[in-house]
Structure 1
Amino acid sequence: MQQAEDFRAESQALAAVLQDLPEADLHRVTLFKDWTIDHVLGHLHLFNVAAETSLKGAEDFGAFITPIVQQMQSGKSILESQFGWLDGLSGRALFEAWYAGSESCADAFAQADPKARVKWVGPDMSALSSITARQMETWAHGQEVFDLLGVERQEQDRIRNIAHLGVSTYGWTFINRKEPVPEPAPYVELTGPSGVVWTWNEVQEDNVVRGPAVEFAQVVTQVRNIADTGVETAGATAAKWMEVAQCFAGPAETPPAKGVRYKA
């Protein structure tokens, strides 16, 4: 599965900026909900292991995820719920565990049937969708790390996987907010890092989203407000979507306000 290699590359890109970072810097606070880099790595590590465990079957996945879900149901945040599982793992040791786990997860999905159904916290999904979601989350949470460190990430055309996920979750964005889904879905035209142009949906000049694929991905993963990007819209439907777009699972979230997420 190429998407497994794309996830691996995304993890390696994040690891490269953290590899030589002093231990104390792993505890610096990012612009995402006051999470530290350490919190980000713990979150990614937990759900990478969860995804790899899902390939072993429903029983194994259920045994792994049930204690985490129970903590969230008791009122703990998703961040607080990871601490028990990590059992004190943090800093450089957590970085090493996360990186080794990302490689193991990539190896497992590289050998998996893309169409195989796997369990997840929400609805079941294909193995292909699962590893794409791991790339998306690694890239999205990686953004706050790159931002904090003042580093410009060298983007590659594997960003198309995340852009495709963003387009595919158009309906989900509204359903998740308990709102009717406006039809038809906007035409989407995005330019990848290499200059290649990707398109989705039927051409409509009065209902369109255009711009850099990387910045579109920033909007749908809610790491940037659309006003802080070069993404442009035409038509009320496209504008509304980009105001609330959410390509990840979980309760409806409010995108960051203009200017609050940025590179240091």
Structure 2
Amino acid sequence: MADLGGILADLRAEGDELDALVAGLDAEGLAVPTPAQGWTIAHQLSHLAWTDRWSLLALRDPAGFRGRSAGAADGVGEAVERGAAEGAGERPASLLGRWRAGREEVRGALRTAPPDERVPWFGPPMKPASMATARLMETWAHGQDVADALGAVRVPGRRLRHVAHLGVRTMGFAFAVRGREVPGVPVRVELAAPGGGTWSWGPEGAEDRVSGPALDFCLLVTRRRHPDDLSLSASGPAASAWLPIAQAFAGPPGPERAPGSGSRGGP
């Protein structure tokens, strides 16, 4: 069973790292454009707060979540844009306050949720540990957008393993969300971990393989970099077909990024 307590501690640390980047920003600072098309730093934080609200609804009222999300099934992208736009002109103290409160509420709700309960979501339903991992992934990904906007360089660490793990686990979803047949063969993923060592998934003898730095893989599966800008390699038809469409988040993939364009992609 996944260590939910450990994941929640890492989720809190990921939020705190992003908070350190934005805590001192005034309205002008929050209005700085990020590499996500049309989104400022305020949009990024408002999106995280919006997703936290949906997470709390899914955890506390699954039936209510299913009912409300069904109405947005064909317009998730539009709903995401509206949620991000909520904070575009919000006062800094108000925006930061609701984002901070929301992420703490989510952590509390995840901590007390039945560990084997499958929580509904816009993609496949998840157990609490998987939802905590997804919240960490999204915080990291939007934190990358903010860091890029501010010219900050984040030092990769062990928390990246959560993002990489989710990126591997969502291989089938990346094909399915595009209406493509999911490969019927396993893929071996071997990543060079920050600070040394290797993180691996899949059978050692698999013919299809992906390898490279863990940071590059995480930037890929969160669609924050174009594959041509990353030091990843794929061998075998399944692995080669997967890398260009890899996606660790639910919903539509978002606009494609051009090589050299930096952190741009889906939410």
Give the TM-score band, short-chain normalised.
Answer: 0.7 to 0.9
For structure 1, list consecutive stretches of 5 or more residues without a partner in the other structure. none
- The Cα of 1:253 is off from its aligned counterpart by 3.9
- The Cα of 1:198 is off from its aligned counterpart by 1.2
- The Cα of 1:205 is off from its aligned counterpart by 7.1
Task: Give the one of 26, 37, 44 matched to 1:22.
Answer: 26
- Check the 8 A contact 2:49/2:98 in 1, yes or no: yes
Between the two proteins, what is the percent identity of the paired residues?
35
Quote the residue 2:51 is aligned against: 47
- Check the 8 A contact 2:144/2:263 in 1, yes or no: no
Quote the residue 2:39 is aligned against: 35
Quote the residue 2:127 is aligned against: 126
Pair 1:188 & 2:189 matched = yes
Quote the residue 2:154 is aligned against: 153
Larger deviation: 205-214 or 146-155? Answer: 205-214
SS of 1:188's partner is strand
Equivalent residue pairs, number: 260
Structure 1 residues 41 and 252: CA distance shift in structure 2, 3 A: closer
SS of 1:78's partner is helix
- Check the 8 A contact 1:68/1:82 in 2, yes or no: no
Q: CA RMSD in A?
A: 2.7
- The Cα of 1:4 is off from its aligned counterpart by 1.6
Amino acid in structure 2 at the alignment position of 1:222: R
- 1:125-177 Cα offsets, whole Å, 9 max, x none, are 21122121111111111111001111111222121111111111111111221
For structure 2, list consecutive stretches of 5 or more residues without a partner in the other structure. none
- The Cα of 1:78 is off from its aligned counterpart by 2.0
Structure 1 residues 179 and 121: CA distance shift in structure 2, 3 A: closer
Quote the residue 2:72 is aligned against: 69
- Check the 8 A contact 1:188/1:208 in 2, yes or no: yes
Task: Give the one of 52, 77, 80 matched to 2:82.
Answer: 80
Quote the residue 1:208 is aligned against: 209
Provide the rounded CA distance (Å) in 1 between the counterparts of 2:114 and 2:231: 37
Larger deviation: 174-183 or 200-209? Answer: 200-209
Amino acid in structure 1 at the alignment position of 2:244: E
Quote the residue 1:198 is aligned against: 199
- The Cα of 1:113 is off from its aligned counterpart by 3.0
Pair 1:10 & 2:14 matched = yes
- The Cα of 1:37 is off from its aligned counterpart by 0.6
- Check the 8 A contact 2:58/2:120 in 1, yes or no: yes
- The Cα of 1:49 is off from its aligned counterpart by 2.2
- Normalized against structure 1, the TM-score is what? 0.87
Structure 1 residues 95 and 72: CA distance shift in structure 2, 3 A: same
- Normalized against structure 2, the TM-score is what? 0.86
Amino acid in structure 2 at the alignment position of 1:234: S
- 1:33-81 Cα offsets, whole Å, 9 max, x none, are 1201111111100111221232223245457x459838947x9452125
